[in-house]
Chain A
Amino acid sequence: MILVLCSLFAVAALAPVFFAGMGRNAFYVLAAAPAAAFVWLIFQYPAAYGQGLTEHVDWIPELQLDLTFRMDPLSWVMCLLVLGVGALVLAYCARYFKDKDANLGSFGAQLLAFAGAMFGLVTADDLILMFVFWELTTILSYLLIGYARARISARRSALTALIVTTAGGLTMLIGLIMLAQLTGTSRVSGLLERAPALLAAHDGAAMAALNVAVVLVLVGAITKSALVPFHFWLPGAMAAPTPVSAYLHAAAMVKAGIYLVARLAPGLSGADSWLPVILTLGLATMLVGGYRALRQKDIKLILAFGTVSQLGFLTMVVGLGTPEAALAGLGLLLAHGLFKAALFLVVGIIDHQTGTRDVGKLSGVFRSSRALGVVAVVAAASMAGIPPLAGFVAKESVFTAFVEWAGEAGHAPWGPVVLAGMVLGSILTFAYSARFIWGAFAMKPGVPPTPFKPIRFSFLAAPALLAVLSVVYGVWPAPVDSWIQPYAALFAAGAPGDAGGHGGTSAGHLELWHGVTPALGLTAVTFLVGSLLVWGRDAVSRFQSSLPKIPEADKAYQNVIGALDDVAVWVTGRTQRGSLFFYLVVILAVAVAVPVGVLLWNGKPIPSKLYWIDPGSPLQWLIGLGIVVGAFGAVKANKRFMAVLFVSVTGYGMALIFALQSAPDLALTQMLVETVALVAFVLAMRRLPPELRDRTGGRYRVIRVVLGLAFGAAMVVFALFAADARVATPISLDFPKLAYEQGGGLNVVNVTLVDLRAWDTFGEISVLALAATGVASLIFVRSIGHSLGRSAGVETGSVGRVAKQPTGSLAAAALATARRFGASPSTVGGVRRNPWLVAGRTLAPERRSILFEVVTRLIFHTMVVFSVYLLFAGHNLPGGGFAGGLMAGMALTIRYLAGGRFELAEALRMSPGLVLGLGLALAAVSGLAPFLLGGNVFQAAILHFTLPVFGDVKFVTSTFFDIGVYLVVIGLVLDVLRGFGAQIDVELEEESEVAAR
């Protein structure tokens, strides 16, 4: 079976290739696949009716989802229909479609794949596997309905069908999972064996769960088989090409729901919730479908609503759970497949040859093509249940089964009601069958005969064969009977399927002549009243239009989807405000409320042994106060610059606190960080408006204030609780010892950074490198060159010249003097030399500060040397690569501030990217090297050796890593200076030039 399945899918996958080469005749190739499978199926008869044919491949044992297939009588009968009709419909397609259609390749592939999915569905012996194929058929149906994708109605119908059947399918999935867990197996065969015992046990909770599961599964069947109230998708699906309608929406896919009912009935029809659902909805569907079929003007829609009606009928019969009904049900299912597929194919031919399906326009088609007419009449007669055709045979045994069932004690009063409804449904069926023939073929008064192109035999072959089969089945039902008997026997008394206890001993037989029975009487009534309806069809039609319009389920669906869209828009509008403020409020509120809620819920008292200030260091009071003032100042400041200054007050305050807590290393680093950050801020701020808009006012002021205070207060409280709860000693107490003994350093902080937790530092320097380049990328985003260039070619005193000269007065005179001073470089040996800073001469005189240049000249090298000292001393004393790098960065900052952007280029002639890259690479290599030497990543070694001048040296290899850190930090500062500094300089100058012009 798996092989057959794979071959069907494989041929489907190759379909586009065939179509590319052969045009529409490729459909014959495709048809050969299910035809071959059909032949294979015939040969499987003995196996299927013997032990049953089982194949199994493990897929996902964890989900109890395995590829288990089983061919038993029910599957075999279903396969006959699926493969047989599939082959005929595919062959029919070869004449239905035109060669030039570009989408035929994918269409053919989908149609054949559908046949494969259907085959898988009816042979799967695993509930979940069956669901897999179930959904595949849904998706393929969606794609096939959407074949006429250019039409909005086709797209919409396809979507409706998809959503309705998937909604049902997912509901069913829950039910299937519940069933599998209740019975402990996901095997269909195993489930059917165990379910009756579960039903017999009368365990309250399990029983309730089982009933719920049954209803959920039935919802899937109901939606798939288009039962009320989900029937509306099926007429919509008629937007599909007619062969698709014939196959999917008449013969095969919509039968999936019926199949599911038939499959589960032997085990579950005894559940309390089973029969009420099946009979109520089945009957309602049969009547609604029949009634609406009588009103249709499109012959395809007559068939569509007829199909809806018949599906309701079939569901009732198949779901009843008696041997007679089981026999009759499958008999009817086969008969329906034969006549309905034939009728749809006939509609396809009429549509193809005349271009219309409208009852009012079609006229005299029978005269144009008698062969077609005969085929249609035979099929329609079978649908109406006229002897000696398949429909009659099946319907007779249905009536027999229901008469018997309705007569049983315990089924009153509903039994007779169901029976009466069924007869009424049959009457409607008779009437719309006649209406179809009349509508499609009759000569209508006042309507000219419809032009009809002659049809080729190959086009008519498929429906004709189906019609012939309807006759054969009707005249000689014995083979069909023998195929179904083993299935019906499952319901016989004493068989596992007889859980409901209503099984008879024998299912009877499908026969053309039963003798004079109550069933025959009901058939007679059907014909009689049906003929009356046909005879008085104008009156019926008037009566139907005089009735108030019943609200259509289709409308209800559209309303549900509309409401869904409204809800979606409403919810999304509420939550997705597009406002950062709103998102932050939500996040912070959650961050405060949830932990506070936890504390309150647990009824925690505030810890008692808390102290606010380190008693050994009263200065903390003062610094703490300063930090608080800084924080408030930052909030209240209305100038950007002031706000930044206040923020750095808090930062320097933190540095002081570190210093007071005897953490000089942290204090040093924090100070340097604050300073660099402040410089960066100030440089960047030149491009920002100086005023801060009023952040403290506005509508949300109260929210801001409350949330801000609450967050701060809550974090303090949490910290109190957290610190109070400590039970173990912190690991950091061991750090000094570890740092010295194994890290080879006295500075715990530095050893922690470069050795103990070097991995953290390594990560953080990559963050630094990236942050630097990220900032630079934003600033340089529009500039062509990254390079600052050299100062040599720059005109003296040209950089940063104030465009508008102050006129008159003292200022102008002072400026003129300054220009003269600045513009007379001392030239030694033809090379321009600047006494102080190399590029200082490039600056406009009014930008220069002699004092600053002098000081810079004096301290620059000192700072660089000091930074190197910090780098190497760091292992034992305050310092380290980070602090050292910052110090070097500060030196560069001073050079830039004093000498301008060309001075920066002279000070360090490497691109920041290179510095960052080298630093990062050095750090990475220093981590990698020990690993390559057989140790752990970032494992440090302590080397002792003697150098001529320095004497005994104790060198820890983690220093290499620290050098990497040092370089990265320098690169960062360089990037900031070039971005926020130099590049903004250039932009400001360009703008002022433009403004001056």
Chain B
Amino acid sequence: MNLAHLAPLAVLLPILGAALAFTLIRHPRAQRAVSVTVLSLTLTLESLLLASSWDGGTTAVRLGAWFPPFGIVMVVDAFSSLMLVVSSAVSLCVLIYASAQGASESGYDGPVSIFHPSYLILIAGVSNAFLSGDLFNLYVGFEILLTASYVLMTLGGTEQRIRAGVTYVVVSVVSSLLFLIAIAMIYASTGTVNMADLAGKLAQLDPGIQTLLHVMLLVAFGIKAAVFPLSFWLPDSYPTAPAPVTAVFAGLLTKVGVYAMVRTETLLFPGDTLNQPLMIVALLTMVVGILGAVAQNDIKRLLSFTLVSHIGYMVFGLALGSAAGLGAAVFYVAHHITIQTSLFLVAGLIELRAGSSSLDRLGGLGKLSPLLAVLFFVPAMNLAGIPPFSGFLGKLGLLQAGVAQGTGLAMVLVVGGVLASLLTLLAIARVWNRAFWRTTDDAEDPAPELLATGAAARRLMPRGMVAPTAALVVFGVALTVFAGPLFGVADRSAAQMLNRDAYIHAVLGQQAVVPAVPGAPAAEGGAR
């Protein structure tokens, strides 16, 4: 049996786990056991999916055995399975971290009791979005993960979280609404929502209408991915959530938006119609985002801005429209999920150890906890794109692709990318200088935790939280060590997406016609 047919389980298992967790709402330990088991199983399963598509195999799984374009299909290819594995690995670490934190913070009936089901459903939604080969089902995937995120965002119901939650929920609902309207419009003009089918039918539409539908989808996804100027909501909402929640949001949710943009650009609307506007948007996202980070004084807010800024890199790679650019963007997504999440987890540890995440109130952490310093420094340098880390490698791929393109705009983007990289380093190094290097005496109004010593200080660094953070940092380093094969699969997936044959044939059968990409020489082998 083709292992790819296991794909639906990547969604089913977490939801089944969530169902169990609901019934176990009064048994936090059992809940934890269920969710860790389920996520580990899911990760194993997704690794099998990745193995099946490693060399470029693309499989469509028909849900309910209905044939496309009528029923819903899932499509397992290199890109989707890579995203699945990375996101599940990351979310497993976050889950363990959160469980440890929850165990130390609150008892029964606290927010923890709904944390586990919400978290599992979030993962189910993310997985569904990655796997979906159906535009409406992609919407459902988004709904699942968004609803879960609403719950997680407001865990504990503090005033600050509710306020940030309102911003987040309203913006997300608007984005969902725009997505839904766009789907309605697309259905109105094509009469289908199956993405492979859409690839053929959209191509038959008037080019102006194609572009109309194209931008409507992009605007909807742009909000989710936090692309300038649709990104302002993010730094106002993410940092207030509990640390592990922020971490997993930062790692996964925006990337789902990016993923959707990549699929839209490559499968539904190939060609270079919007590449130039997208490049400008990428540039602004990178630069405006990182300026925000430079202006911040709080680690979590600062990281939220680097998150926005680095989304720009992914859009950059996508907008180049070349296999090299797209491959680098795919690699960068995998890298960024891991690294941004690690940093938010570390920020959570800092907050715990020092009682604050405001740089003014931090100092001496390098001396107080060398382990914490290492855990911060490695992913921080990685984020700042310091070689040989994966952040550098992804950026290198993007810059190479940009230089290869050679147009004026591409070169401007290359310069913008380098500038954003430098400013990321500046922002991160300032954190290092203040939080880790200077002494605690220099901290203004240090929290009592920062001044704790001995056993009290050790209790502030629970092993259950440090271990998963360390694991994630190591995973991030592994992305560097195994960058060769990883870049290989990223490049293959990019080539595959740009070609579209494999996807469309897997879904609609070998005889399906793959429409030519506008503006490109006719694709060979429509019907093999």
Beta-carbon contact of A917 and B191 below 8 Å: no
Among B62, B305, B399, the residue within 8 A (CB) of A936 is B62
Beta-carbon contact of A785 and B109 below 8 Å: yes
The answer to whether A174 and B23 touch (CB under 8 A), given A571-B291, A728-B192, is no
CB nearest neighbor in B for A586:
B229
The answer to whether A584 and B170 touch (CB under 8 A), given A719-B184, A722-B212, A917-B19, is yes
Beta-carbon contact of B141 and A763 below 8 Å: yes
Is B156 an interface residue, CB under 8 A from the partner? yes
The answer to whether A174 and B291 touch (CB under 8 A), given A759-B64, A773-B117, is no
Among B8, B187, B230, B232, the residue within 8 A (CB) of A927 is B8
Is A625 an interface residue, CB under 8 A from the partner? no
Cβ proximity bits B285-315 to A, threshold 8 Å, 1 near / 0 not: 0001001101100000000010000000000
CA distance A171 to B411 in the complex (A): 12
| B contact residues around A150 at 8 Å (CB) | 438-439
Is A58 an interface residue, CB under 8 A from the partner? yes
The answer to whether A128 and B396 touch (CB under 8 A), given A170-B418, A731-B70, A770-B118, is yes
Beta-carbon contact of B111 and A777 below 8 Å: yes
CA distance A173 to B167 in the complex (A): 40
Beta-carbon contact of B157 and A936 below 8 Å: no
| A contact residues around B347 at 8 Å (CB) | none
Cβ proximity bits B356-387 to A, threshold 8 Å, 1 near / 0 not: 00000000001100100000000001000011
Nearest chain B CB to A741 CB, angstrom units: 12
CB nearest neighbor in A for B494:
A62
CA distance A564 to B429 in the complex (A): 15
The answer to whether A580 and B166 touch (CB under 8 A), given A759-B63, A760-B137, A937-B12, is yes
Beta-carbon contact of A725 and B205 below 8 Å: yes
Enumerate A82-136 residues with CB–CB distance to B below 8 Å: 102, 106, 128, 131-132, 135-136
Contact stretch, chosen from A446-454, A587-595, A698-706, A809-817: A587-595
Among B22, B426, B438, the residue within 8 A (CB) of A149 is B438
| A contact residues around B439 at 8 Å (CB) | 149-150
CB nearest neighbor in B for A149:
B437
Beta-carbon contact of B397 and A63 below 8 Å: yes
Enumerate B405-464 residues with CB–CB distance to A below 8 Å: 414-415, 418, 421-423, 425-426, 429-430, 433, 437-439, 442
Contact stretch, chosen from A641-649, A732-740, A828-836: A732-740
Nearest chain B CB to A796 CB, angstrom units: 29
| B contact residues around A757 at 8 Å (CB) | 71-72, 136-137
| A contact residues around B414 at 8 Å (CB) | 174
Beta-carbon contact of B8 and A937 below 8 Å: yes
Beta-carbon contact of B191 and A729 below 8 Å: yes
Nearest chain A CB to B190 CB, angstrom units: 6
CB nearest neighbor in B for A760:
B140
CB nearest neighbor in B for A152:
B438
Enumerate A269-318 residues with CB–CB distance to B below 8 Å: none
The listed residue with most B CB atoms (<10 A of its CB), out of A591, A734, A766, is A766
The answer to whether A730 and B192 touch (CB under 8 A), given A568-B295, A594-B219, A774-B147, is yes
Beta-carbon contact of A763 and B167 below 8 Å: no
Cβ proximity bits B388-409 to A, threshold 8 Å, 1 near / 0 not: 1000110011011001100000
CB nearest neighbor in A for B174:
A587
| A contact residues around B143 at 8 Å (CB) | 763-764, 767
Is B334 an interface residue, CB under 8 A from the partner? no
Nearest chain A CB to B404 CB, angstrom units: 6
Beta-carbon contact of B295 and A913 below 8 Å: no
CA distance A993 to B382 in the complex (A): 59
Q: Is the interface of A mostly helix, strand, loop or mixed?
A: helix
Beta-carbon contact of B422 and A167 below 8 Å: yes
Cβ proximity bits A559-597 to B, threshold 8 Å, 1 near / 0 not: 000001101110110011110101110111011001100
Beta-carbon contact of A781 and B156 below 8 Å: yes
CB nearest neighbor in B for A919:
B19
Is B507 an interface residue, CB under 8 A from the partner? no
Is A522 an interface residue, CB under 8 A from the partner? no
CB nearest neighbor in A for B425:
A166
The answer to whether A719 and B185 touch (CB under 8 A), given A756-B64, A756-B66, A763-B125, is yes
Beta-carbon contact of A918 and B171 below 8 Å: no
Is A493 an interface residue, CB under 8 A from the partner? no
Nearest chain B CB to A178 CB, angstrom units: 6
Beta-carbon contact of B19 and A587 below 8 Å: no
The listed residue with most A CB atoms (<10 A of its CB), out of B125, B232, B392, is B232
Is A916 an interface residue, CB under 8 A from the partner? yes
| A contact residues around B61 at 8 Å (CB) | 936-937
| B contact residues around A60 at 8 Å (CB) | 393, 483-484, 487
Is A925 an interface residue, CB under 8 A from the partner? yes
Is B121 an interface residue, CB under 8 A from the partner? yes
| B contact residues around A931 at 8 Å (CB) | 8-9
CA distance A155 to B185 in the complex (A): 57
Beta-carbon contact of A594 and B215 below 8 Å: yes
| A contact residues around B186 at 8 Å (CB) | 722
Nearest chain B CB to A919 CB, angstrom units: 8
Beta-carbon contact of B399 and A177 below 8 Å: yes
CA distance A64 to B211 in the complex (A): 36
| A contact residues around B69 at 8 Å (CB) | 731
Is A726 an interface residue, CB under 8 A from the partner? yes
Beta-carbon contact of A132 and B124 below 8 Å: no
Beta-carbon contact of A760 and B22 below 8 Å: no
| A contact residues around B23 at 8 Å (CB) | 913-914, 917-918, 921
Among A59, A587, A925, the residue within 8 A (CB) of B230 is A587
| B contact residues around A568 at 8 Å (CB) | 291-292, 294-295
| A contact residues around B235 at 8 Å (CB) | 576
| B contact residues around A149 at 8 Å (CB) | 366, 437-439
CB nearest neighbor in B for A158:
B433
Beta-carbon contact of A921 and B291 below 8 Å: no
Contact stretch, chosen from A598-606, A689-697, A859-867: A598-606
The answer to whether A718 and B140 touch (CB under 8 A), given A568-B291, A920-B22, is no
Known interface pairs A132-B387, A568-B292; 19 further A-B residue pairs with C-beta atoms within 8 A, sorted by A's residue number: A62-B491, A63-B393, A131-B387, A177-B400, A571-B295, A575-B292, A587-B174, A587-B223, A594-B219, A718-B216, A722-B188, A727-B201, A728-B190, A735-B70, A759-B140, A773-B118, A776-B114, A919-B19, A920-B18
Q: List 15 A-B contacts (CB under 8 A).
A: A63-B487, A181-B404, A575-B288, A576-B292, A586-B230, A602-B208, A715-B181, A722-B188, A725-B189, A766-B121, A770-B121, A784-B109, A786-B26, A914-B23, A924-B12
Closest 7 CB pairs of A and B: A730-B191, A917-B22, A602-B208, A774-B151, A917-B23, A920-B19, A921-B19
